[in-house]
Amino acid sequence: MSKPNRDLEMAGWSLQNIVAVNVTAALEHITRELHALDGHVGGGDPGMRVQSTSELTSVEAVADERWRMRSAVEELRDAKADVLSSIRALNELCNALKRLRAPKVPQRGTEAPQGLLCSAGQVGKEGADVWGDPDCPMPAVKSGMCQAHSKRWYRHRQALGIDVSMDHEPAR
């Protein structure tokens, strides 16, 4: 197995050991400061008394300070949600990329003989007009068809209630 992506490995370490700790500390700090603004004992800086100004009364100044702190908390939560969403999106993209396969199209001049193509193996099979593709260029590997059409034929017959228990071919 290859080594994990170095940048993401460092970002994960930073996220776990620095950012997570910092977010928790920031939220705890804001909680203490909000308690101090409300006049609860034991929280915040004792010199943090909000004084009235020429523009605001002391009640308005406290409300303004509470709004500023709550706004900062919401901004922090939005940033955290964005990071988590980005991580999920990156992971989903990686999973989608791992499912991609190169198309298996025979190259010109190397086509299999007529009887060994999937399109020829579909002829006369139950419901081929529903599940089949008369132009499928893939080589026949199972039941005279490619893997995808063999599975579609199997599922189509299952849906019709046809016994498919004996369909398995022995390994070669």
Domain ranges of the chain: 6-99, 107-172
CA separation for the pair 5, 2 (Å, rounded): 9
% of the chain residues with pLDDT over 70: 80
CA separation for the pair 127, 152 (Å, rounded): 10
Residue 117 phi, psi dihedral angles, 5° rounding? -90, 150
Tokens of 118: 């999937």
CA separation for the pair 56, 62 (Å, rounded): 9
pLDDT tens string 12-61? 999 999 999 999 999 999 999 888 887 765 444 555 555 556 777 878 88
pLDDT tens string 125-159? 878 888 888 888 888 887 788 888 888 988 888 88
Mean pLDDT of the chain: 81
